[in-house]
Amino acid sequence: MTALRLGTRRSVLARTQSTHVAERLRRLGHRVELVEITTEGDLSDAPLTQIGGTGVFVSALRAALHSGRVDLAVHSLKDLPTAPDPALVVAAVPPREDSRDALVARDGLTLGQLRPGAVVGTGSPRRTAQLAALGLGLDVRPIRGNVDTRVGYVASGLLDAVVLARAGLARLGRLDVVTEVLDPIQVLPAPGQGALAVECRGDRPEVRAALAALDDPDTRVCVEAERSLLATLEAGCTAPVGALAEIVDGEDGLELFLRAFAGTADGEVALRRSLVGPLADPRALGAQLAQILLDDGAAGLEASSPTATQPSEPVS
């Protein structure tokens, strides 16, 4: 039996996620070989908004799929551009990890316990906008780096806290550093956060069939609503966006509850809207809620991209 060649980024987190997918495929009787791919996002320390957005983590993996170098690729779903590649398909969306953001703060502090002026690091304009909108007086600064680097900023006293995706910390076995998991009422996650996308070429039916066993229908429905919202908003605004879809009990059975955020980095504008709809058409629900946000002012919002920095002095 020919081994399935699984393309993965070289970061520790990416390899951990890809290994998880590989192990599930092996349990189903497939041979799997990991193939490391270096992406543009791995080579640059600049903010993602300056080097092309989240797609910089995906393009090299997709090129490897196109060329036949690999048979499948594993992405963090939040890194996957909403514009489809006509030659590729997301053959599986495995069960999602906890999608929420997590705070890692000095002295075990929670978000509400941080003093006004406390320096909080994050690489996400979405988190920056929502933290600013809370009105806590935090000094939110853009940073880049892997999980160990970011957590190290807190341990060394260079920052009071950092905000990271809980899913990444869970997959790395680092939940012990979390001082608070942020409620989506405070900070909505990125569309697709906590979920993985397993992508392959559309003209490889045998690979698609192998990957179909990994797909989780509930997770796919939720992320399709979130990504549809993001795709619609991207056509009309450049503001930071958060979104979370959940399956809930309705009067007539299960429904899809979608919440979304769009705002400005300084927190002066913070649009939060929600909508409930049928499970059968998650993309329509996402597009509808996005249009509500656009009609309510998101269309006029512009993103700002402060330069990511490496802290050099302890905070006072």
Q: Give the active site residues.
A: 79
The neighbouring-strand residues paired with 74 are 198
- Provide the token pair at 63: 């090129």
- Copy the structure tokens of residue 3: 């081994």
What contacts 191, CB < 8 A, 6 or more positions away?
78, 223, 226, 227, 229, 230, 241, 242, 243
Which H helix or E strand runs over 294? helix 282-295
Sheet holding 196-201, edge to edge: 32-37, 4-9, 72-76, 196-201, 88-92
Label each residue of 49-98 as H, E or C.
HHHCHHHHHCHHHHHHHHHCCCCEEEEEHHHCCCCCCCCEEEEECCCCCC
Q: Is 286 helix (H, G, I), strand (E, B) or coil?
A: helix
Nearest to 230 by CA among 216, 215, 245: 245
Q: Are 143 and 307 a contacting pair, CB within 8 Å?
A: no
Q: What DSSP string describes 120-186?
A: EEES-HHHHHHHHHTTS--EEEE----HHHHHHHHHTTS-SEEEEEHHHHHHTT-GGG-SEEPPTTT
Instruction: Supply the DSSP symbol for 225.
Output: H
Nearest CA among 217, 200, 191, 6 for reference residue 95: 217
The Cα–Cα gap between 239 and 245 comes to: 19
Q: H or E element: which one contains 295? A: helix 282-295
